[in-house]
Amino acid sequence: MEERIQKILSQAGVASRREAERMITAGRVTVNGVPVTELGAKADPARDRITVDGKPVTVEEKRVYLLLNKPVGYVTTLKDPDGRPIVTDLLKGVGVRVFPVGRLDYNTEGLLLLTNDGAWANRLAHPRHEVDKEYLVRVRGTVDREQLRRLERGVELDDGKTAPARAAVFKESDNNTWVSITIHEGRYRQVRRMCEAVSLSVVRLRRVRYGSLSLGELKIGEFRYLTPAEVKALDGVAPRRTGPSSR
């Protein structure tokens, strides 16, 4: 079935629709060897050969949705020029190409979603859906109420003030404090920078919840497939076509 090319690129996980439109107008996309620059152009991914910068684009028919407990020391890009381990190295036996929904930085561990459904991933990651993401942060020393209030009100960062958050002490010990911080934005290293802005020194950072999903008993470095019910629950945050498949 023919669809607009920007939609095909989004479904394939190449780029968001807006980014795909820029690729098209820049002449980076071809269909059956012919450059396409019109945004209304259509193609059939089952019949036509579509390329971006000379590389074939494949739309996977089988949709896969994964939850990974990411370890520290892995990057969430699909390639790393420095040769560091990438999260997809941990996905033994999946059998299809998947990519992360959003990102966790190299030194952050915890819940990471991966899929081959580009349109679903783009919708889920879009800021307008305000999906809660909860982190447990171990910081040095104690945390006072004013620091929590500042996190909750939003703090000024170099890229603007953060949206209001939820923050509470989770557990205390002699030398460290665990703080639960829930945000719905997805800025680069946001939780670390928020903590730094209120003079909290981060020792460990772990994402434990994404929307309705939590890590549960999943061990570090392990992954599992989302159930249809879990995908459906996230559909309530990011509406999509019906009939997702998962294993």
User: DSSP assignment, residue 223?
Assistant: E
Q: Which of 48, 105, 132, 235 is catalytic?
A: 105
Crossing angle of helices 145-153 and 190-197, in 10° steps, is 130
Classify burial at 37, counting beta carbons within 10 Å of its beta carbon; exposed 0-12, middle 13-18, buried 19 or more: exposed
From 13, 18, 189, select the one nearest 113 (Cα to Cα): 13
Please name the helix (run of DSSP H) or strand (run of DSSP E) that holds residue 43, with its range, or none: strand 42-43
User: DSSP assignment, residue 86?
Assistant: B
For 211, the token pair is 């929307």
Q: Where are the alpha helices (DSSP H) in the chain?
A: 5-11, 17-25, 118-125, 145-153, 190-197, 228-235
Asked if 105 is an active-site residue, the reply is yes
From 112, 63, 64, select the one nearest 86 (Cα to Cα): 112
The strand ranges marked E within 121-201 are: 133-140, 156-157, 160-161, 166-172, 176-183
From 45, 23, 232, 18, select the one nearest 119 (Cα to Cα): 18
| Burial profile 143-169: b = 16 or more Cβ within 10 angstroms, e = fewer | beeebbebbeebbebeeeebeebebee
* Residues with a known catalytic role: 105
